[in-house]
């Protein structure tokens, strides 16, 4: 699969899939920009009378519960139901799973519509598996990615989905496969919503590529590699956010292969 990763990046650029996002207020701008930078076409819409129409015209759906409320939860459920019905791929970002009962209940309802991919930090994946013995610290993780592997296996099995545990090492779990990606940079944790942007980019890749495990791996590798390359040029988190969007847009095949650390 490794040799296909760059090809998938080019496929997204060529196909420019339309990706429907129901995400949180904090990251909407960055998320849309990350999608544009990798060559996809973002749309954001959540009104109940139109949300299922939008799912119908898009190639994938991204749901992120960061700043949920009752109206938005209903939008998410309508959209996930439609994606499930139409067999369209969708990705779930369980922001703050385990922090409140309200988030846990919302996530249970969403999981019934079988997301194609779930991407979260270790604390969130542990919480999703109800195996969370690590106290959640708001939306940031207090656990290491490796601790959450068993939880991810459980979730992958139970919901027939792929799981990406983000962290210092990103770990992808599903269908018997475990893939580790050792790219990224610590400065990325000082920019809000980079995880949310990574989730949206995964949406673009599962929209355009049939092999969902390869799509998830290519998206995750691309995002972490671009973050790592961008961090090298950055004086702090402000410039990292800017340089990351530039790099998602202009990364070369050579840069990709020279930076990739996969196992």
Cβ 20 to its own copies, closest distance in Å? 8
Q: Is 247:228 a contact under the CB 8 Å cutoff? A: no
Binding map of its own copies across residues 102-141, x = CB under 8 A, - = no contact: xx---------------------------------xxxx-
**By CB under 8 A, is residue 253 in contact with its own copies?**
no
Output 144 or 246, the one with its CB closest to its own copies: 246
Instruction: Say whether 166 counts as a known binding-site residue.
Output: yes
**By CB under 8 A, is residue 49 in contact with its own copies?**
yes
**By CB under 8 A, is residue 69 in contact with its own copies?**
yes
Residue 49's Cβ-count burial label (10 Å; 0-12, 13-18, 19+) is exposed
**By CB under 8 A, is residue 77 in contact with its own copies?**
no
The region of 76-84, 121-129, 163-171, 184-192 touching its own copies under the rule CB under 8 A is 184-192
Output 13 or 261, the one with its CB closest to its own copies: 13
CA-based R_g, the chain, Å: 17
Instruction: Say whether 76 counts as a known binding-site residue.
Output: no
Cβ 245 to its own copies, closest distance in Å? 3
Instruction: Say whether 103 counts as a known binding-site residue.
Output: no
Instruction: Say whether 193 counts as a known binding-site residue.
Output: yes
**Among residue numbers 144 through 183, which ones bind its own copies (CB under 8 A)?**
none
**By CB under 8 A, is residue 5 in contact with its own copies?**
no
CA distances from residue 1 to 112, 158, 262 in whole angstroms, order as listed: 30, 25, 11
**By CB under 8 A, is residue 228 in contact with its own copies?**
no
Choice from 154, 246, 259, 261 touching its own copies (CB under 8 A): 246
**By CB under 8 A, is residue 88 in contact with its own copies?**
no
Q: Is 87:115 a contact under the CB 8 Å cutoff? A: no
Q: Is 200:62 a contact under the CB 8 Å cutoff? A: yes
Cβ 238 to its own copies, closest distance in Å? 3
Binding-site size for its own copies (CB under 8 A) equals 63
**By CB under 8 A, is residue 193 in contact with its own copies?**
yes
**By CB under 8 A, is residue 53 in contact with its own copies?**
yes
Give me the residues that bind its own copies (CB under 8 A), please. 18, 24-30, 32-33, 36-37, 41-50, 53-54, 57-58, 66-71, 96, 99-103, 137-140, 189-193, 234-239, 241-250
Residues flagged as binding site for substrate: 44, 193
Residues flagged as binding site for ATP: 119, 166
């Amino acid at each position: 699969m490794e040799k296909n990763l760059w090809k998938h990046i080019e496929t997204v650029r060529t196909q420019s899939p339309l990706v429907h996002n129901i995400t949180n207020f904090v990251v909407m701008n960055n998320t849309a920009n990350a999608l544009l930078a990798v060559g996809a076409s973002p749309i954001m819409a959540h009104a109940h009378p139109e949300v299922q129409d939008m799912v119908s015209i898009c190639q994938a759906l991204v749901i992120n519960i960061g700043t949920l409320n009752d109206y938005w939860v209903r939008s998410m459920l309508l959209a996930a139901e439609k994606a499930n019905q139409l067999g369209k791929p969708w990705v779930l970002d369980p922001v703050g799973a385990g922090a409140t009962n309200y988030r846990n209940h919302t996530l249970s309802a969403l999981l019934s519509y079988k997301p194609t991919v779930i991407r979260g930090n270790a604390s969130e994946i542990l919480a999703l598996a109800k195996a969370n013995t690590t106290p959640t610290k708001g939306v940031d993780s207090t656990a290491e990615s490796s601790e959450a592997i068993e939880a991810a296996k459980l979730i992958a099995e139970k919901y027939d989905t792929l799981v990406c545990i983000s962290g210092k090492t990103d770990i992808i779990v599903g269908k018997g496969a475990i893939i580790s990606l050792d790219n990224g940079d610590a400065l990325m944790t000082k920019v809000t919503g980079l995880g949310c942007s990574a989730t949206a980019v995964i949406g673009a890749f599962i929209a355009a590529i049939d092999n969902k495990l390869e799509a998830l791996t290519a998206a995750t590798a691309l995002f972490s590699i671009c973050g790592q390359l961008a961090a090298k040029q950055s004086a702090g988190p402000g410039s990292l956010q800017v340089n990351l969007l530039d790099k998602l847009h202009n990364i070369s095949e050579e840069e990709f292969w020279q930076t990739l650390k996969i196992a």
